[in-house]
Amino acid sequence: MKLAMIGSGYVGLVSGACFADFGHQVVCVDKDDKKISDLNRNIMPIYEPGLADLVKRNVDAERLSFSTDLAASIKDCDAIFIAVGTPSRRGDGHADLSYVYAASEEIADSIGKRTVVITKSTVPVGTGDEVQHIIEKKQPRDRFAVVSNPEFLREGAAIRDFKRPDRIVIGTEDAWAKEVMTEIYRPLFLNESPILFTGRRTAELTKYAANAFLATKITFINEIADLCEKVGADVQEVARGIGLDNRIGSKFLHAGPGYGGSCFPKDTLALIKTAQDNDSPIRIVEAVVQVNDQRKRAMGRKVIHALDGDVRDKRVALLGLTFKPNTDDMRDAPSIAIAQTLIDAGAIVSAYDPEGMESAKELMPDVAMTDSSYTAATDADAVVIVTEWDAFRALDLEKLAQVMNGNILVDLRNIYNPAEVAQSSLVYSSVGRLR
């Protein structure tokens, strides 16, 4: 089938490349001339493992192309995906739908045949209704159908998630649109990936509900970690004890400095706003957002506490800046608040991240970026593991201690065994554990 992906950011690029790998003819469209020029030279705008090879393979096979000309790109398409950004709107936290609606206007002007228009972007309930209203101002109702098809991709594992999904949620009650969507996803259906057909509004809400629930699990175990430190329990053992219950599950029960990234922060805020607008507030999610925001700075204070409550003129090295490993995404990363808390208290902060330092430079101008873990740690009074990159899981602890000025290791991701660190000359502090 011939598909267009409007928006060549994280969701659009990964989805478009994967659809092309299934054998579809895909064009990814974006208004950013530089981005499209770079993609045509196989320069990726994001870091995602395996993406550059996937894109090159499908470009070479002439199944994937890139363009800035939306009208020409969508004219003969069987399906058009809207995968533009929906950032939090300044002032009220609601999703900014201006890019979605602008794309819908252009689609309405350029449809050349009967076409399915799919919102892949994360959008509040009712957005599909408005997209349909925009298009039907210029196109006969029988010329198109509007479908909701939310994405559930994890940064750092997006290609695997797309090709081996837990589920595919498709929101439509149009029989013809169901046939088209089934054909688009046929390779996954043959792999027995479940396709859940729902109403369009149900699909839109499903995406927000999923992310809010996962954010709640993260925040819950983080608060349990704080309690563990007070009562002398081990949060990792608590998490294992409850995670073995199939009704709960073990995923997203890893204590740490709080969630960040492109999805959870903005999606929880958007869900809260939608609930308030419909006079059905979601108090649990409101508390999750508040607790998570407070936690990030609290982790900075944890580092200060490890240094006996005073970091003025002391050096602190942060290992890991991105909100999670295997991405260069710095959006709402806990490291930003942690670094600022330390700087506000008078600390001198250095950092190293395998992929995120270019993005971090603008967000953290007062942090000295370095070229390795050990360079960051040189002369530091404390080293803080903020992101659980594989590169930090097997550090030479004695070498680390030798280059440091002090001997404090604060592990905010619990990637080290306290007994192992005890064999070195470092003093270890972790989250929700006895040490």
Joined tokens for residue 343: 């700087």
Instruction: Compute the radius of gyration of the chain from its Cα atoms.
Output: 23
For residue 95, what are the contacts with CB-CB under 8 A and spacing of at least 6?
86, 87, 88, 89, 122, 123, 124, 266, 270, 273
- Residue 93 DSSP code: -
CA distance 280 to 283: 9
Q: Measured between alpha carbons, how far is 194 from 274 in angstroms, rounded to an integer? A: 28
Identified catalytic residue from 18, 77, 228, 263:
263
In contact, 208 and 124? CB cutoff 8 Å: yes
Strand partners, 118: 81, 147
Beta bridge partners of 392: none
263 is catalytic: yes
Tokens of 160: 């695997």
* 231 CB burial (10 A radius; 0-12, 13-18, 19+): exposed
Q: CB neighbours (10 Å) of residue 277? A: 14
Strand blocks (E) in 43-149: 64-67, 79-82, 115-119, 144-148
C-alpha distance from residue 209 to each of 205, 213, 279 (Å): 6, 6, 17
Rounded Cα–Cα distance for residues 121 and 128 (Å): 11
**Three-class SS of residue 145?**
strand
- Give the burial string for 160-195 (b: 16+ CB within 10 Å, else e): ebbeebeebbbbbeeeebbebbeebbebbeeeeeeb
Catalytic residues: 263
